Amino acid sequence: MAESFGLTVRAQPLGSQQDSNFLLTEPAGSVAGVLKIANPAFTAAEIEAQDAAAERAAAAGLRAGTVLHGPVTVPAGGGPVDGSMALARVLRYLPGGTLAGAERYLSPRVVAGLGTVAGQLSLALRPFTHPGLDRVLQWDLRHALRVVTTLAGHVRDEGLRARVTSAAEAAWNRVEPLAGRLPWQTVHGDVTDDNVVCRLERGLRTPDGIIDFGDLTSSWAVGELAVAITSVLRHAGAEPCSVLPAVRAFGELRPLSAEEAAVLWPLVVLRAAVLVVSGEQQAAIDGVNDYVTGALEHERRLFERAMSVPAEVMTGLILAELGLGGGPRPPGSGPVPDLRPVDLAPVDLGRCAVLDLSVQSGAADEGAWLEPGLEDRLAAGLLAQGYDAVATRFGEARLTASAMLAGVSPAAVATGIDLWTAGQVELPAGLTVRRDGDRVHVSLPTEGGPEVPPLVRPEYAAGWLSLVADPGPLLGLPAAVPAGRDDLLRRREASFAAVQEHYYRDPPRIERGWRHHLAATDGRVYLDMVNNVTVLGHAHPRVEAAVARQLRRLNTNSRFNYASVVEFSERLAGLLPDPLDTVFLVNSGSEAVDLALRLALVATGHQDVVAVREAYHGWTYASDAVSTSTADNPNALSTRPLWVHVVDAPNSYRGRYRGTGADTESVRYSGDAVRAIGELAASGRPPAAFLAEPYYGNAGGMPLPDGYLAAVYAEVRRHGGLAVADEVQVGYGRLGRWFWGFEQQGVVPDVVTVAKAMGNGYPLGAVVTSRAIAARYRDAGYFFSSTGGSPVSSVVGLAVLDVIRDEGLQANAARVGSHLKARLEELAVRHQLIGAVHGSGLYLGVEFVRDRGTLEPATEETAAICDRMLELGVIIQPTSDRMCVLKIKPPLCLDVAGADFFADALDRVLTEGW
């Protein structure tokens, strides 16, 4: 190295298929570059072209392996003995790593990044020409069919060989007619997971660079994208639709023509076929070892995935993704492939009822969608009512076809119409008709196209529906309204303020809940690990019945004298220890906290309040003033009014004092808080209240240090102040072992705020205190809340308490919660990212850290994990000021199967990546 390049470095071999590569390190340890000794098969002109292309890529803003030193001529691998010489140069080293590793999951964000790199490169290389590009390469997709037929003999498995050959031929038949219209240019030719490098930023990889220009050639421009997206299919969890973010990102930079979009998937199939036969050829040369077998396995998987959805479907999907068409087609309309010519006369079915099987359908209420045979029963019922026929809707996502606890979306979107008829009906010839018991499935697919299943998965619906027409008009039914892109989010944004956030960047549209499940309009059903408000589970029939019954009779305000408000107040007070016997009913947690603070100010005559850091208590003026969480409000600490004083968050995992148990530092939190309260009092401002969650919910469900509330409550009371426990989030049985969070601390507060779970989603809140404290409120005027404690609110409150009791939900929270916590603790043994598992019952927190020593919060990873969990059918969100804790607070009806589904999905995400 010293002789050729004047460098004093250490060279360490790096694996490479065609060249010899070495990582060069300087004596001080820093990386000096990569020594690349080109395969002697490369001419000097080819190498010059590769290096010039790398310069182009770098000039376009990509990180690229450009030349630092050289080239110089050196003896090739065989040495001077065989006399052959090779070109050596030192290339820039790009830190950050590549996307390689088939067992790793590539997120839609990363896949889009891959498409962006391919698009940037395509634009950068478009004007580039060089004599060194004039060569014939095995990897050039223009020669793909020839490569496959030539090398197919190396494929030892006969079945696979036949499949690869016929797939390549079929794909070629799609490409060939359009080949003349495909734009050409210089392409890198190998923009794959192995060659795209990433910058690693705050725990997430973003593709931003490219190495290895060894396959540089002049070919179809769209081939650059085809090669890139084929490499996605190798990765864990990938399927054909996983490539769409890359297609969109590429298309945004370098728009695809309709012809390019039409050949894209066939080119993916050809690339996959080339990879299989080339891998087998290499195995024949190198002999089969473990490494080769593993690589072959991945190529085969990639090929099978490319073939798992018909090319026509993928083409329809790609066209729809690019805004170039797609979606259902009118009968008899072009272009290629055409639908069957329709000279069919519509039939008259007579009086026909349309069966709504969508997520919104009333027929699905109360979990009816889970009953087997529901569709047939509903149809029979309608026929019995005198209809001549019953028809389902074309293109509808059916809830009846959905499954709970499913890691992938269900085949739920109808590609035809199902019919039940009272008598014999002569259907128009030309329709595809399949009989299934009493029902007839009718569809109108493309002539000569692939067989279209009656139901398809929503991700592929745009592709499948582009191959069929709506048979409705031939049956005398109105044409289905094309679904189009759902613009609900845009409308929401137009009528909401930006400050009103929503979960997920691209959220599913949820229109139904049932128990601990949520159903989206595309038929996907998610496990709900977030809805703590819906403590009984979604759409509980007893709550619905209580509300409906009461609305039919009376709903008014609590100045009237009626039984339910009294019964509910008695029940609520009865759940609390003495002397907490007096109830104020309001509509939310914020109102409850606001009222609790007013009570404290009035009852004590003091002006100040002490709250803990990293807490959330509500949005009203007073409850916001004591909300110190910077996750909810980044200015929370700098904008405190003067009457609010904060003490440290008693976080025993990552706070100032750590450890759990009596002999740990964390007991010092109470000493600090006691001192702060004492100092306030000494300065002439004794606090009216000390307010905190009695179990630290906002930090992800952490118990307060032992004895914390006993000490702090005693001190605040010593100075005439009140102890306020905010049970809005952790109370009402969620903690399993305790109904109220303060029980865990062995204390009794002076004022308790309750909300969320009280109404199972109906707006209900309460403040419960002692008669003596409540009596002082009289001095400050009067209290009235129009809907607080209304007859409907009161019966809801009673129904919720009845169900919690009758269904044993607190005990269920304890049982399922401890099972789930044990599963999560087991995951923590295997996955370094889990720093701790907090919580009790069904209020659990999984805290993610980048380093178990420094506890650096894994904030971005947590957000990405939540996105990946959604893909796997789980709704979960982050919490804490660092947003690095999965907050697990599902409806309390969660069962062991649901808990296991969650833990398995999390295990998978932590294993495969996010």
Contact residues for ligand PMP, defined by CB under 6 A: 588-590, 593, 616-618, 693, 697, 726, 728-729, 755-756
Closest to ligand PMP by CB, 39 or 698 = 698
Shortest CB 730 distance to ligand PMP, Å: 7
In 3-state terms, what secondary structure has residue 750? coil
Cα(765)–Cα(590) distance, integer angstroms: 9
Cα(425)–Cα(420) distance, integer angstroms: 10
Shortest CB 720 distance to ligand PMP, Å: 25
CB 61 within 8 Å of CB 120: yes
Shortest CB 758 distance to ligand PMP, Å: 10
Per-residue burial over 488-497, b if 16 or more Cβ lie within 10 Å, else e, is eeeeeeeeee
Shortest CB 137 distance to ligand PMP, Å: 60
Burial class (CB in 10 A: 0-12, 13-18, 19+), 437: exposed
Element (H, E) at 512: strand 510-514
Burial class (CB in 10 A: 0-12, 13-18, 19+), 109: middle
Cα(401)–Cα(757) distance, integer angstroms: 31
Closest to ligand PMP by CB, 345 or 497 = 497
Compute, in degrees rounded to 10, the torsion defined by CA atoms 771, 772, 775, 780: -130
Shortest CB 697 distance to ligand PMP, Å: 6
Residues 6+ apart with CB under 8 A from 122: 185, 187, 221, 224, 225, 250, 253, 254
CB 839 within 8 Å of CB 821: yes
Closest to ligand PMP by CB, 618 or 686 = 618
Question: What single-letter DSSP state applies at residue 365?
Answer: G
Pairing of strands 702-703, 695-696: antiparallel
Quick one: which of 535, 546, 536 has its CA closest to 792?
546
Quick one: which of 328, 303, 62 has its CA closest to 162?
303
Cα(292)–Cα(286) distance, integer angstroms: 8
Closest to ligand PMP by CB, 458 or 589 = 589
The Cα angle at residue 459 between residues 891 and 867, in degrees rounded to 5: 45
Beta bridge partners, 695, equal 703
Shortest CB 508 distance to ligand PMP, Å: 22
Closest to ligand PMP by CB, 195 or 588 = 588
Closest to ligand PMP by CB, 331 or 741 = 741
Question: What single-letter DSSP state applies at residue 173?
Answer: H
Shortest CB 811 distance to ligand PMP, Å: 24
Cα(857)–Cα(665) distance, integer angstroms: 21
Quick one: which of 263, 10, 250 has its CA closest to 118?
250
Closest to ligand PMP by CB, 263 or 593 = 593
Closest to ligand PMP by CB, 680 or 767 = 767
Closest to ligand PMP by CB, 530 or 728 = 728
Closest to ligand PMP by CB, 595 or 680 = 595
Distance of CA 659 to the CA centre of its chain: 33
Shortest CB 395 distance to ligand PMP, Å: 38
Closest to ligand PMP by CB, 522 or 726 = 726
In 3-state terms, what secondary structure has residue 766? strand
Cα(534)–Cα(545) distance, integer angstroms: 16
Quick one: which of 356, 327, 312, 332 has its CA closest to 473?
332
Cα(129)–Cα(66) distance, integer angstroms: 18
Closest to ligand PMP by CB, 56 or 617 = 617
CA terminus-to-terminus distance, the chain? 41
Closest to ligand PMP by CB, 148 or 885 = 885
Shortest CB 615 distance to ligand PMP, Å: 7
Closest to ligand PMP by CB, 431 or 757 = 757
Cα(12)–Cα(24) distance, integer angstroms: 7
Question: What single-letter DSSP state applies at residue 849?
Answer: B
**Nearest residue to ligand PMP, using CB?**
589
Shortest CB 726 distance to ligand PMP, Å: 5
Tokens of 490: 């845009």
Shortest CB 709 distance to ligand PMP, Å: 15
Q: Is the peptide bond before 478 cis (omega within 30 degrees of 0)?
A: no
Shortest CB 903 distance to ligand PMP, Å: 25
Shortest CB 644 distance to ligand PMP, Å: 15
Shortest CB 587 distance to ligand PMP, Å: 8
Shortest CB 385 distance to ligand PMP, Å: 44
Question: What single-letter DSSP state applies at residue 767?
Answer: E
Closest to ligand PMP by CB, 752 or 799 = 752
Shortest CB 601 distance to ligand PMP, Å: 18
The Cα angle at residue 899 between residues 893 and 904, in degrees rounded to 5: 160
Tokens of 54: 């790398």
Tokens of 111: 């896949």
Closest to ligand PMP by CB, 616 or 732 = 616
